[in-house]
Amino acid sequence: MDENHWFSESCAQAFWDQKEGGPYKRLLSDTVGYAAPRANERWLDLGCGGGQLSDGLWHASKGTIQELVCLDCAAANAKPIGALSEKHAKGNSKLFHFVHGDFSHGLDSFPDGYFDGVISGLSISYAESKDPVTGKYNDVAFRALLKDIRRVLSPTGRFAFSINVPNPKFWRILFQSLNRDLKIRKPLKLISNALKMQAYGRWLCREAKRGRFHYLPIDQLTARLQDAGFGNVEHKLSYANQAFVVRALPATAKGELRRSA
């Protein structure tokens, strides 16, 4: 079986400090802005990593979210999520908690219409599946994940996420981070982790070319969202122009598009 670095502790830790870089700060702001969390809502952070988006949701809602579920395939991410839970929710696991799971296999543990919002940062493109006959990678799991996200969303919910553009130039993100963020804390640590991220980036691009991961043109991504039951899809470029930030709303029962508030 092909190695999947997303499960490893070293890969998880390499991405914890990306929040210090300017391009990621912009990406975070753009994604949380599209999410626009409100009081008494339930949110799912899909592929939560170190919890930067979850932290952003909490602050944007002024701590009024009813429940925040943070799901990731790397067990190591339980540590930063636990720290955020203790900070924001005093460790209340019913309010703010980590779930260890691989969304490539679906979201069966969550009931229909449970969440008011789903947010995801550069994660959903890594839903992977293989053809059982040919052994080649395909997008079956990716398409199924989009449908499952639609299933767990309430009819008035929203899906806000980022996803890398086709053939992303990860070095541009590194260049802008180092060129603009000269006053960052622990610069040597940031540089070390950034170089690790570049190495992982080469792996990601290589696997994307094999069809294992999914960096899609926006028209193809929009078509897949619509096939999954979403409408009113809007997007913008962010992350040194290496990622799309997207907001998609569930289509109505009649197939009409619901307009955002």
**Residue at token pair 């806000």:** 160
CA distances from 175 to 128, 134, 169, 179, 236 (A): 30, 40, 10, 6, 21
Q: Which domain holds residue 116?
A: 5-250
**The token pair that represents 210 in the structure block:** 């094999």
Distance CA 18, CA 52 (A): 9
Q: Which residues does 159 contact at the CB level (< 8 Å), separation at least 6?
A: 117, 118, 119, 149, 150, 153, 230, 246, 247, 248, 249
Asked if residue 41 is part of any domain, the answer here is yes
**Per-residue pLDDT at 8:** 73
Asked if residue 39 is part of any domain, the answer here is yes
**The token pair that represents 91 in the structure block:** 């460790």
Residues 179-208: tens digit of each pLDDT: 554 455 555 555 566 666 667 778 888 999
Mean pLDDT of the chain: 87
Asked if residue 261 is part of any domain, the answer here is no
Give the residues across from 164 on adjacent strands. Answer: 243
Residues 37 and 62 sit within 8 Å (Cβ to Cβ): no
* DSSP label at residue 165: P
The secondary structure element, H or E, covering residue 250 is: strand 243-250
Asked if residue 29 is part of any domain, the answer here is yes
| Number of domains composing the chain | 1
Instruction: Indicate which CATH number applies to the domain containing 129.
Output: 3.40.50.150
Range with lowest mean pLDDT among 15-29, 48-62, 131-145, 159-173 = 15-29
Residues 53-94: tens digit of each pLDDT: 999 999 999 999 999 999 999 999 999 999 999 999 998 988
Asked if residue 257 is part of any domain, the answer here is no
Residues 20-30: tens digit of each pLDDT: 678 889 999 99
CA distances from 11 to 14, 84, 107 (A): 5, 20, 23
Asked if residue 110 is part of any domain, the answer here is yes
Model-level pTM?
0.87
Tell me what the mean pLDDT of segment 207-230 comes to: 96
